[in-house]
Structure 1
Amino acid sequence: MNDETLAPSSYDTSQRRSDALWSRIETDPSGLRMLTGDRPTGALHIGHYFGSLRNRVRLQDAGVESWVLVADYQVITDRDVVGDIKGSVRELLTDYLAVGLDPERSTFFAHSAVPALNQLMLPFLSLVTQPELERNPTVKAELAAAGKSAMGGLLLTYPVHQAADILFCGGNVVPVGRDQLPHIEQTRVIARRFNERYAGGEQVFTEPGALLSESPTILGLDGEHKMSKSRGNTVMLRMDEAETVKKIKKAKTDSERVITYDPENRPEVANLLTIASQCAGRTPEEIAEEIGDKGSGTLKIMTADLLNEHLAPIRARRRELEQDPEHLFSVLRAGNERANEVAEKTLARVREVMGMVY
């Protein structure tokens, strides 16, 4: 096994890099460019919001230049039926703008609209081996989640496509969870190998840094998995107050009357406390102590009320945005135009250093 590919540095090293990035963001974010995004499979839920969206808005508001990818090509990596991709893109854009991502400060773009980005995959693929790609744990997890035994070519090369996403625009800040670190390490390896093999050591591509998220993981309301639309265990951002209350009331808890925050032994109760704490700006322990022996029914009511209050302005903004889908797509078209300009310059530079300008 070539350790350089997926684990060139320990988690501790990644954490130190992340801490340094956070310090820079807090003092002087100039020169930082964040690349983030999602696969458009429909509207987003509170797991997305508390796990990543809110943090992206925080980084944008802190002055980090933000590039937000609508990863429409990733919809076809592991699916035989792709559904209404355009409708899913519209839903994704609606949620992005509703939570506070601002087209004046963030560039929104789609895979399929930026040909030069995707063309970078060809030289990048020359820098990795099949075993290196097959070892990527996220690729294995996606294959298992899709319930397939054979891996398609697009899924196999997904880490390389992600490297192209990051490197084409000079992304040097990538917010991720710990489980996504292998993708960032693969991108760092591709950048380093390109510079060494094709550019004679010149730094054409900068190795990006993983910004490890401090955001919590929100479990599904079944208490057994991450929130997932396919499992029906979510609270969607687009739901109204009554739907939210109904969903939270059905959330799995346990039979103990006294409410305590114990993620290991009481994950379902801890999950509701986490949601409530994220909305209230208080610790889960404080909320558990307040509820005391009033039971899970009181916990569910409090969680639903806090969640509805917190999401009210987002949902109001969402309703406004839904009335003008053309505005949403105009935002994407403007971002696509900018992304194409940057991608074409990057590809031209790649051709130059590879001796392919004729």
Structure 2
Amino acid sequence: MKKPTQNSPFALSSLKEYASMLAIWIGLIILFSLLSDRFFSAATFSSLANQIPALTLVAAGMTLVIITAGIDLSVGSILGLAGSVFGISLLGWGLPLPLAVILALVAGSLAGWVNGWISVSWRVPSFIVTLGMLEIARGLSYLATDSQTMYLNGALGSLSRPIAGIGIPVTFIVAIIIVILLQFILSRTVFGRRLIAIGTNEQAVTLAGIRTQGPRVAVFAIAGFLAAIGGLFYTSRLGSADPNAGVGLELSAIAAVVIGGTSLMGGRGSVINTFFGVLIIATLESGLAQLGASEPVKRVITGAVIVGAASLDAWRNQLQGGALGFLKKLVQR
């Protein structure tokens, strides 16, 4: 059997990272199971499987963007826009279900592409561009729905119903498949390696004669597309198109990415670890809720976990930078 390469998702270093994230998640499950008799149950895990698909997809797209040293603050609003486009297409315009789904996906992808194109072509920081798109997409959601929730009468509802015998919905299975696919692309394709190279040192990639504009725009378009799928999953779970859907979701996505070990400086990351980050956040919130923690307390604890993960990443970057600096000086001597 062929030995996995360093870029393989099954390389020894990658497996160690997955094992570490899995251990943290299992540790949380054990902790909350000891603190609450109701936590370790089929109902809890079924609820988690139903809640996390949308966030999983948004966080997966965010991972690709952050790996290239960018940021996307608009994914929550794009999720809401996709759901609103789906609702108005289905109920307002009377379009068939498949066409309504296509329009929602196009709306999300287009919004993401605009983010990338403006950021790359006009050299505007992605933070500013996506902050503007956050407001634009949310405003379009309100305009499309007249600021009203649109009830969909069961459209796409079957996607979020637990499958008989296994207790998890189709949306969860689709999210897992997409996570695995994106991890394969990131670790085993030329496109994925270019994303990592761009995040590590874009100038060096450019000097090597490799165009960076296309991949950088592509990751924003992919993030928009995944946010749109998340919007459809969201409307499926709630049974309605809510123009307020996804408010603040970009922060949860960034939190999952950071907890998963993706560097905010770019050049390093894993979609699978981001999925574990989503699991950790969802388990933490569910466990605290079952313990009766108030919303402010949950926010404080979740925020502390995020700050701790970000601090660990910064400390790791400093150690690596120090080691590299030492080696450079040694070579120069």
TM-score bin, normalised by smaller chain: under 0.3
Greater helix content: 2
Give the TM-score of the pair, scaled to structure 2.
0.28
Answer 1 or 2: higher relative contact order, Cα 8 Å, separation at least 6.
2
Give the TM-score of the pair, scaled to structure 1.
0.26
